[in-house]
Amino acid sequence: MTATSLVIGSLVSTRLRLPPAEWYPAGHPDIEVARVALGDGVSLRVLSSGPASGPPVVLVHGWAISAYLWRHTIPALAAAGFRAYAADLPGCGLSDAPTAPGSYTLDAMTTWLARLYDALGLDAAPLAAQSMGARIAVELARRAPARVPRLALYGPAGFGDIAPASAFAPFIPRLPGAIPSLLVTRDMVDFVQRRVHGKLGWFTDRDTDEYWAPTQFPDVVRAQLQMLAEFDWAPHDERALATLATPTMVVFGTADRTVRPVHAERLVRVMPRGRLEWIEGGGHVVMEESPEYVNRQLVAFLREGRGADGA
């Protein structure tokens, strides 16, 4: 299927994007939704679930998606007694999309995440993060190690090669500022879903609708392009990782075609408390493809930390 047919096919389709009132977690009364202000006119949509007194865990998604990524993880953490928080990052989902130059650099995104901790009243909380979100999580742990007692990283940017970002990022600033939302078609999102999934599980029509929905907002489309251009997609520096004392679990699917884990073993080896886990046949979104396994693994990792660190 060509790019032209993807566009034409969706333009003639009568299928509409989900209205925000129908987005996840609609129909899940056990999941709370809040608007959390971070300052500078930016606020995020934050989902939370689990005992209010439970140990907190912050979940961070990757590029061009939303907190919907964690729909299987949030209830599992809540059932295990944790208080789970999952935000739509700036420029994603129903969160605000700042337009100022530099809003989506690694430094800026790390600052937004630190401000989220502040706004939620979290002195410290483990981070579970995917893809681009994992790059941000590592940077926050390096900046403020006391705030991030544990890291669980899934298909993490910085531990592999990301061909699309490397190929297209230099050209993004030359594109027109107003990218019509209608050009981001449902068929395109469906195609991306097929690319990011490996050989385990599969996605549903509802999943495609949820990930397509945010593109009804032109600011979100522009923010994603700006993010692609501004963010640091390069592999981690070994010297920086060698100073990261945070216990870190790096998880890759063996069939991940989005972040090809060519640097994973070498980089994890230099981390004082890092370990590498493989999920056979998994793609780039293993928390969607093999949720039961990933949830058991994550809960065990978090409980291991509470036993070892007393946190």
Q: How far apart are CA 268 and CA 238, in angstroms?
A: 9
DSSP state of 260: B
Q: Which residues contact 15 (CB under 8 A, 6 or more apart)?
A: 186
**Could you report the per-residue pLDDT of 68-107, keeping only the tens digit for each?**
999 999 999 999 999 999 999 999 999 999 999 999 999 9
Average of per-residue pLDDT values in the chain: 90
- Tens of pLDDT, residue by residue over 152-193, are 999 999 999 886 554 555 554 555 654 556 778 999 999 999
Which helix (H) or strand (E) covers residue 308, if one does?
helix 291-309
Cα–Cα distances in Å, from 207 out to 17, 40, 182? 12, 32, 19
Residue 25, both tokens: 């977690």
- What was the pLDDT predicted at 308? 55
249 alpha-carbon distance from chain centroid: 16
**Integer Cα distance of 243 and 141 in angstroms:** 11
Q: Is residue 213 scored above 90 in pLDDT?
A: yes
Neighbours of 33 (CB within 10 A): 15
Backbone φ, ψ for residue 74 (5° rounding): -55, -55
Q: Encoding tokens for residue 273?
A: 């408390």
At 14, the pLDDT band (50, 70, 90 cuts) reads: low
Q: How many domains does the chain have?
A: 1
Per-residue pLDDT at 302 exceeds 70: yes
pLDDT confidence tier of residue 127, bands split at 50, 70 and 90: very high
- 56-60, strands of its sheet edge to edge: 32-39, 42-49, 83-87, 56-60, 127-130, 151-154, 248-253, 274-279
Instruction: For residue 108, give the 3-state DSSP assignment.
Output: helix
CA quadruple 260, 265, 267, 271: dihedral, nearest 10? 140
The pLDDT value given to residue 4: 46
Own/partner contacts of 170-179, CB < 8 Å, gap of 24 or more, are 170/229, 172/225, 172/226, 172/228, 172/229, 173/229, 175/225, 177/222, 178/218, 178/222, 179/218, 179/221, 179/222, 179/225
Residue 59 in this model has a pLDDT that exceeds 90: yes
**Contact by Cβ (8 Å): 271, 242:** yes
CATH code assigned at 199? 3.40.50.1820
Q: Determine the Cα–Cα distance for residues 306 and 311; give it in Å rounded to an integer.
A: 5
The position carrying tokens 């007692």 is 149
> Taking a C-beta distance cutoff of 8 angstroms, is the pair 70, 86 a contact?
yes
Residue written as tokens 């790096």? 250
Query: Angle, nearest 10°, between helix axes 3-11 and 186-196?
Result: 130
Range of the domain at 218: 3-309
